[in-house]
Structure 1
Amino acid sequence: MSAPSISLLLPTRGRPALARRLFRSIAETVSRPDRVEVIVYVDDDDIESHDLDSDDIAVHRIIGPARSMGSYNSACLDRASGGIVVLANDDMIVRTPRWDERLLTVNDEFPDGIYLAYGNDLNKKRGLSTFPVLSRRTCELLVDPYPAQYRGAFIDVHIFDIFQRLSHAGFDRTRYLEDVVFEHMHFRVGKSAPDATYLKRGRFDDDPTFIALAPGRREAARRLIDALQGRRPDQFQRRQYREVVPTNSLLASAYFARQFLFDNELPLRRRLYLWYWFLGRYAAAHGALRHFIRQP
């Protein structure tokens, strides 16, 4: 059986130079350029990005209206043909030669096609699947791997959370590839300058969305577990969830405790981390940490 091809999903806006830099890094490191494609979504008013292309790898462009980040990625997934799907960013650089062979090795490890792989972003490293790699079958089982509700962030955390639930249920389906470097050149770690695309996004806008979609992540994990155990997953039902975080800090602390500390489908360490992390994000969003966090 021939090896599956690899699709990288790339929503981009106002950054043609960064997108081309990513194309070059892919072309310079991939062992089989003919096995790789990049699906680019460009807003219809981003004229300078409409001709994004590469002489070395296949680039397929979608030009359409502005959407949420989740919708961008879903549109790219619909166009993709690869059996392995990589969620990419235009501020990413591929550093590791023959990285595609490493992804194929992970894919071969799981004949049922249910796994999450991710490389080393040189920032979060093992702690987060910044650029998640999923098989086509995993995407199909999840049905909606990149929820449209996410406007600009948290999709990586969302996917990572689903597979943390699998791990807690006894299914080791996450592979961190420390030696595969997909470097994240984000301005918040001092690797680039802030630009209009960065600054347009509200840093904390998707926090309530992540909390609201917890029931969806529980259902997604159960779908994967059903498939792993040979059961037919329940029919996917698209639901609307909404959460409102309290504005009072004491109430917010109790709210985050209820949302995270009592989620018994996650490992305890992960629950503690999410509770602490969201407390910090809440404090930052309300100005309490303005002297300690990097400002654009």
Structure 2
Amino acid sequence: MVVPSRGRPENAERLAQAFIDTQTEADLYFIIDNDDPKWNEYAKNENIKCLPADNKTGGCAASLNTGAIYLLDFTQFPLYDYFVFLGDDHLPRTQNWDKAFIQALGINTGIVYGNDLLQGENLPTAFGMSRDLVTQLQGMTFPGCIHLFFDNFVKQLGIDLNYLKYLPDVIIEHLHPVAGKAEMDEGYARVNQPKWYEEDLLTL
């Protein structure tokens, strides 16, 4: 599980606890910007594995791709057959949801996603991906992405591959301000500037 995060160690702690509560067996890695002033707050939690990212973009896509590339290195990490992206504002609610993702993907090249109670089937705001795709992409989203539209990219990729699986009964709740489930903090305000929509759309 690859989770880019910046300035939200409390979200990381909440997500780590959700893994325990849902009996999730997958390894959980938080990708933290080198210059995050709250780095030490992440690192002091024994339930949190942290990997660094030299990310100056302000968005999470570069950190996501950095983390995925780290974890492809089977000389340093286990040989993972499946990769999952979660935001630090996602919260799994379904028991053994990671096993449901694995079962849905099987040996196929493709994408799987659950119900975030916000976008639902419309967009994979959190998603699983087969290892071969991560290898080909050298990450989990498109090159040049800063923060936005990579869920659109991933959905279209799954459609193009003819292997996009939506699991409506697997709940991975998106605790986002749009849903009224989080405060509009500095991070949300930063990545939702109009210029970012324009820049990411141009690179998509």
TM class, shorter-length: 0.7 to 0.9
Matched with 1:138 is 133
Counterpart among 6, 10, 18 of residue 11 in structure 2: 18
Is 1:122 matched with 2:117? yes
Matched with 1:152 is 147
Matched with 2:81 is 83
| In structure 2, C-alpha distance between the alignment counterparts of 1:103 and 1:186, rounded to whole Å | 22
> Is the Cα contact below 8 Å between 1:69 and 1:148 reproduced in 2?
no
Matched with 2:74 is none
Is 1:206 matched with 2:197? yes
Q: Percent identity?
A: 23
Specify the code of the residue in structure 1 equivalent to 2:134: C
Residue deviations 1:148-171 (CA, integer Å, cap 9, x gap): 4221211111111222334xxxx3
**1:31 Cα deviation from its structure 2 partner:** 4.6
Judged with a 3 Å threshold, the aligned counterparts in structure 2 of structure 1 residues 55 and 187 are, in CA distance, closer, same or farther, namely same
Specify the code of the residue in structure 1 equivalent to 2:23: V
Matched with 1:260 is none
- Secondary structure in structure 1 of the residue aligned to 2:27: strand
**1:42 Cα deviation from its structure 2 partner:** 1.6
Residue deviations 1:220-272 (CA, integer Å, cap 9, x gap): xxxxxxxxxxxxxxxxxxxxxxxxxxxxxxxxxxxxxxxxxxxxxxxxxxxxx
Counterpart among 21, 36, 44 of residue 28 in structure 1: 21
| In structure 1, C-alpha distance between the alignment counterparts of 2:60 and 2:53, rounded to whole Å | 14
Matched with 2:39 is 49
Question: Which deviates more from structure 2 when the two are superposed, residues 196-205 or residues 70-79?
Answer: 196-205
> Is the Cα contact below 8 Å between 1:150 and 1:206 reproduced in 2?
no
Matched with 1:72 is 63
> Is the Cα contact below 8 Å between 1:15 and 1:49 reproduced in 2?
no
| In structure 2, C-alpha distance between the alignment counterparts of 1:151 and 1:158, rounded to whole Å | 13
> Is the Cα contact below 8 Å between 1:121 and 1:183 reproduced in 2?
yes
Normalising by structure 2, report the TM-score. Answer: 0.84
**1:63 Cα deviation from its structure 2 partner:** 5.0
> Is the Cα contact below 8 Å between 1:120 and 1:183 reproduced in 2?
yes
> Is the Cα contact below 8 Å between 1:118 and 1:176 reproduced in 2?
yes
Judged with a 3 Å threshold, the aligned counterparts in structure 2 of structure 1 residues 124 and 138 are, in CA distance, closer, same or farther, namely same
**1:69 Cα deviation from its structure 2 partner:** 2.6
Is 1:38 matched with 2:35? no
Specify the code of the residue in structure 2 equivalent to 1:202: N
Larger Rg: 1
Specify the code of the residue in structure 2 equivalent to 1:146: T
| In structure 1, C-alpha distance between the alignment counterparts of 2:157 and 2:2, rounded to whole Å | 20
Is 1:188 matched with 2:186? no
- Secondary structure in structure 1 of the residue aligned to 2:28: strand
> Structure 2: which 5+ residue stretches go unaligned?
72-76
- Secondary structure in structure 1 of the residue aligned to 2:181: coil
| In structure 2, C-alpha distance between the alignment counterparts of 1:201 and 1:25, rounded to whole Å | 25
Judged with a 3 Å threshold, the aligned counterparts in structure 2 of structure 1 residues 46 and 161 are, in CA distance, closer, same or farther, namely same
**1:44 Cα deviation from its structure 2 partner:** 2.5
Specify the code of the residue in structure 1 equivalent to 2:130: S
- Secondary structure in structure 2 of the residue aligned to 1:165: helix
Matched with 1:222 is none
Counterpart among 168, 171, 176 of residue 166 in structure 2: 176
Judged with a 3 Å threshold, the aligned counterparts in structure 2 of structure 1 residues 152 and 162 are, in CA distance, closer, same or farther, namely same
Judged with a 3 Å threshold, the aligned counterparts in structure 2 of structure 1 residues 212 and 13 are, in CA distance, closer, same or farther, namely closer
| In structure 1, C-alpha distance between the alignment counterparts of 2:42 and 2:168, rounded to whole Å | 30
Counterpart among 89, 92, 101 of residue 90 in structure 2: 92
| In structure 2, C-alpha distance between the alignment counterparts of 1:127 and 1:211, rounded to whole Å | 21
